[in-house]
Chains A and B, each alone.
Chain A
Amino acid sequence: MKSYILPEFLIDRDDYRCIRCEVCVRQCAFDAHWYDEEDDEVRVDEDKCAGCLRCVTFCPTNALIVRRNPNQIPENANWTNEVLHNIYKQAETGGVLLTGMGCDKDYPIYWDRIVLDASQVTNPSIDPLREPMELRTYLGAKPDALEIGRKKGKSSVLTKISPQLRLETPIMFSALSYGAISYNVCESLARAASEFGTYYNTGEGGLHRDLYQYGDHTICQVASGRFGVHADYLEAAAALEIKIGQGAKPGIGGHLPGEKVSAEISHTRMIPEGTDALSPAPHHDIYSIEDLAQLIYALKEATHWEKPVSVKIAAVHNSAAIASGMVRAGADIIALDGIRGGTGAAPTMIRDNVGIPIELALASVDTRLREEGIRNRASIVVAGGIRSAADVVKAVALGADAVYIGTAALVALGCHVCQKCYTGKCNWGIATQDPYLTKRLNPEIGTRRLVNLLTGWSHEIMEILGGMGINAIESLRGNRLRLRGVGLSEEELRILGIRHAGA
């Protein structure tokens, strides 16, 4: 069938600069470039270009420009190019549209409509280069009150504090499963988390045996497929996370195609090599809140009550009520994943249309838990579109204890957000299991890049805190007075629990 889909991108090659070194040819797993020996020319097959810019980045002479194909249908606000493209594709294949990464629709990004406060005159801002500035964060249930005994003039804690995760910065690496991403990405995340003093999350891919050494900084997920879940796995973790939902695909399961299930992945996930790894939409042992409570306690029991248990849900309309139930069901950490949360593969329609922005979910959950007086019983971690230190600060001020970063971490590792993760041909060696591609990510470099990112963001958070005259992150957490909205409606302000700038 003749395809009506136009190439998404065009590749311009500056012949003056091109030295025929073929770096682009070798770097493109989609085979968009090829060398024509007969004419000594490098040629392109633009239909195949994913727009990942690997070739552009690696071209030693900057001879390449990848640009959006200017051949567009006449401007139409309703029938956009994207809509047409999708329809052509489905008319040609009869399939469900697949995509990767997070929702790219232009729903309001509330982070960008919230501004931060700073000290002027009446209180001094603090210079983080000269004064201590504390980002340490503990995740886990906190008691309502501390019982303190006194003996011989010394106080000692009588209350048994629930297990806590200690973070040196309120940023963790989101759930990214081995299978969706390569081993080298997992190793980079694990090492960076260990080095910086934070945590990464295994996602539902199990934990490769070589990564057990980073267990102290690993949150092991228990998802609906139960892939790779066994006693040693639970034992290795610093914390466990029951994954109910994911921001990119609330309400649906996951699917790792069999071709990605290599020997190592098969071993790690405990499924036969080459078979599809299908995560059911629900946990088939959780059909109600009390079932969740049972699993939470089962996991706590299995790990001798030594590890906090997190429950992750996609941010949906009644997140606040759900979260309240989760806290009462014994979750130590509530992880909320907003509509912009990423994925290795999701149906486009789901990704782009199901769920709510994380900012609103966070605000309503935090408010609700406070209204119920149970906010201290669980930490809130938010995910789904945290792009910068400013987003982190705003999330913390809205009420989050910490954030998960997924896409941002992958971008630090080279991801160019081309959204072709589901093809398995990630030219940046991230969302792939092809050994030719996975080695493109050297975990030494990956670790360094991630640690640098955390270092940079942490410094920025400290700067912002210092500017507010605050020297400990807990004084920002839930401190919505330091936020103001810009261009937001009354209703949005009310939900966010902040006032409009100027007021």
Chain B
Amino acid sequence: MLRGIRFPDDKDFSGCSIFGMMNVRGEKFNGEDMITAIANMKDRSNGLGGGFAAYGIYPQYADLYCFQMMYDDEGARKESEEFLEASFEIETAEIIPTRACEGVRESPLLWRYFMQPRQKVTCELEDVESFIVSVVMDINRKIDGAFVFSSGKDMGVFKGVGFPEDIGRFFRLEEYEGYSWVAHGRFPTNTQAWWGGAHPFNILDWSVVHNGEISSYGINKRYLEMYGYVCTLFTDTEVVAYAVDLLVRRHGLSVEDMAKVLAAPLWDEIDRMPAEGKQLHTALRQTYGSILMNGPFSIIISNRNQMIGLTDRIRLRPLVAGRSGDIRYISSEEAPMHLIDDNVEDTWIPRGGEPIIAELENIARPAAVEENLLSLSGADS
């Protein structure tokens, strides 16, 4: 299923449902509510893809990178494992537990590896994470029939072809406990569905679920390629994940500034800003104009600390935010929040291009983020 179906330079057109849920105190909950919520938006997906990302699910391996892999066959697995062993100490290699589930067919071999790069390899590198990225790129590009679909720490992505609720049950998500979850139901107009193409997209601990179409994909991809990102999944969502990785991890931008790159303010607005903001946003657009995500989208970007909701600049796709005690919701529709939670206090629709950010409370964070957290806790955003 992974071989021979990739269209170079192509991307995937899809309409979708997205749902994110995070406990900002870090209290964990299982995948049950996520499955219920995403299933509630069934008409936004067509059975050609569903997936979840969950944070905090592998506490026993919290310091190890978890590669979750799809293989077409044993040959691909062997090749990949040899490749990995060359540079990693593999602590655990295991088949990802699944259950037979009607509506989920022809699954690839699903394996996960908890591991860390060998000292020898990382010594040569200043930046371990860049090494991980390059390994992911190498496997995805070079090993036919193998695909890394998640590569972070203490987190995992579970996705495949089918309705999201079926995928959830297939992966037995009720057995996982995480404090932050995202889910995706997919409606590709491209009938060629494949497991790797389902959302979320992940690199390191960045996960992206996406509803929309990135009309600027062609240039976003070419720009990221200049920075060593090889877009192998042939979907526009992939570029979001890489762009986020580039901006936040590698270039050190704050999440908010990153959001202002992906959904840049209009020049008109920038022109009206006070000098400092004007300079900042002008520089952001000048430098990163090529990864402005143009076209209709709403996305949820997650990492271990944050869950970020964002729509395109002119809000062509839906996104609703909600709050219930320590729980933060970001969703395509409001109904699922109420379905799983009687205590949703307030919900609101963020403005186009305005990021909403949910963040773990007990972590040190840049002050810049504070304001957005405040705005998320209020209903006035």
Chain A bound to chain B? yes
Query: Which residues of A are at the interface with B, using a C-beta cutoff of 8 A?
Result: 119, 121-124, 126, 131-132, 134, 136, 138, 142-143, 145-148, 150, 152-157, 159, 161, 164, 370, 373, 375-376, 397, 468-472, 474-482, 499
Distance of A314 Cα from B268 Cα, bound (Å): 36
Distance of A482 Cα from B213 Cα, bound (Å): 13
Candidates B219, B226, B314, B370; contact of A471 at CB < 8 Å: B314
Candidates A146, A152, A474, A499; contact of B283 at CB < 8 Å: A146
Distance of A479 Cα from B239 Cα, bound (Å): 14
With contact pairs A123-B212, A132-B266, A155-B257 given, residues A482 and B314 touching in the complex (Cβ less than 8 Å) = no
Q: Give the chain A neighbours of B215 by CB distance below 8 A.
A: 119, 123, 468-470, 475, 482
A241 smallest CB distance to B (angstroms) = 20
With contact pairs A161-B283, A370-B226 given, residues A131 and B314 touching in the complex (Cβ less than 8 Å) = yes
Minimum CB distance partner of B314 in chain A: A131
With contact pairs A131-B314, A471-B314 given, residues A122 and B213 touching in the complex (Cβ less than 8 Å) = yes
The size class of the interface chain B forms with chain A is: 35 or more
The answer to whether B294 touches A159 (Cβ under 8 A) is: no
Distance of A276 Cα from B221 Cα, bound (Å): 52
Q: Give the chain B neighbours of A469 by CB distance below 8 A.
A: 213, 215, 294-296
Q: Give the chain B neighbours of A373 by CB distance below 8 A.
A: 226-227
Q: Give the chain A neighbours of B283 by CB distance below 8 A.
A: 146, 157, 159, 161
With contact pairs A122-B213, A134-B266, A370-B226 given, residues A146 and B218 touching in the complex (Cβ less than 8 Å) = no
Candidates A123, A150, A159; contact of B213 at CB < 8 Å: A123
The answer to whether A479 touches B219 (Cβ under 8 A) is: yes
Per-position 1/0 for B272-289, Cβ under 8 A of A: 000010011001111111
The 8 closest A-B pairs by CB, nearest first: A481-B218, A474-B289, A475-B216, A475-B294, A479-B218, A123-B213, A122-B13, A479-B219
Minimum CB distance partner of A135 in chain B: B267
The answer to whether A148 touches B254 (Cβ under 8 A) is: yes
The answer to whether B219 touches A476 (Cβ under 8 A) is: yes
User: Contacts A146-B284, A480-B218 given; 6 further ones with Cβ under 8 A?
Assistant: A122-B13, A123-B316, A148-B257, A153-B367, A474-B216, A474-B290
Q: Give the chain B neighbours of A161 by CB distance below 8 A.
A: 283, 286-287
Minimum CB distance partner of A478 in chain B: B219
Q: Give the chain A neighbours of B223 by CB distance below 8 A.
A: 478
A463 smallest CB distance to B (angstroms) = 15
Per-position 1/0 for B13-27, Cβ under 8 A of A: 111000000000000
Minimum CB distance partner of A125 in chain B: B215
Minimum CB distance partner of B253 in chain A: A148
Residues of B325-381 whose CB lies within 8 A of A: 366-368, 370-371
The answer to whether B285 touches A471 (Cβ under 8 A) is: no
Distance of A142 Cα from B212 Cα, bound (Å): 29
B264 smallest CB distance to A (angstroms) = 7
The answer to whether A136 touches B295 (Cβ under 8 A) is: no
Candidates B290, B294, B314; contact of A478 at CB < 8 Å: B290
Minimum CB distance partner of B285 in chain A: A474
In the complex, 13 of the A-B residue pairs with CB atoms within 8 angstroms, ordered by the A residue number, are A122-B13, A123-B213, A126-B314, A134-B267, A148-B254, A153-B370, A156-B280, A161-B283, A469-B213, A478-B219, A479-B218, A481-B217, A499-B9
Q: Give the chain B neighbours of A148 by CB distance below 8 A.
A: 252-254, 257, 280
The answer to whether A470 touches B216 (Cβ under 8 A) is: yes
Distance of A148 Cα from B289 Cα, bound (Å): 16
A233 smallest CB distance to B (angstroms) = 27
B119 smallest CB distance to A (angstroms) = 28
Most buried by B among A123, A126, A471: A123
Minimum CB distance partner of A372 in chain B: B226
Distance of A468 Cα from B366 Cα, bound (Å): 38
B366 smallest CB distance to A (angstroms) = 6
B139 near A: Cβ within 8 Å?
A: no
The answer to whether B370 touches A470 (Cβ under 8 A) is: no
Candidates B226, B254, B368; contact of A376 at CB < 8 Å: B226
A118 smallest CB distance to B (angstroms) = 10
Q: Give the chain A neighbours of B290 by CB distance below 8 A.
A: 376, 474, 477-478
Q: Give the chain B neighbours of A164 by CB distance below 8 A.
A: 286
Minimum CB distance partner of A468 in chain B: B215
The answer to whether A150 touches B296 (Cβ under 8 A) is: no
Per-position 1/0 for B131-169, Cβ under 8 A of A: 000000000000000000000000000000000000000
Candidates A132, A136, A146; contact of B288 at CB < 8 Å: A146
Q: Give the chain A neighbours of B186 by CB distance below 8 A.
A: none
The answer to whether A470 touches B217 (Cβ under 8 A) is: no
The answer to whether A475 touches B226 (Cβ under 8 A) is: no
Distance of A480 Cα from B11 Cα, bound (Å): 13
A365 smallest CB distance to B (angstroms) = 14
B3 near A: Cβ within 8 Å?
A: no
Minimum CB distance partner of A469 in chain B: B215
The answer to whether B296 touches A123 (Cβ under 8 A) is: yes
With contact pairs A131-B314, A148-B280 given, residues A142 and B371 touching in the complex (Cβ less than 8 Å) = no
Q: Give the chain B neighbours of A155 by CB distance below 8 A.
A: 254, 256-257, 280, 368
The answer to whether B292 touches A472 (Cβ under 8 A) is: yes
Minimum CB distance partner of B289 in chain A: A474
Residues of B208-246 whose CB lies within 8 A of A: 212-213, 215-219, 222-223, 225-227
B92 near A: Cβ within 8 Å?
A: no
The answer to whether B287 touches A376 (Cβ under 8 A) is: yes
Distance of A62 Cα from B367 Cα, bound (Å): 74
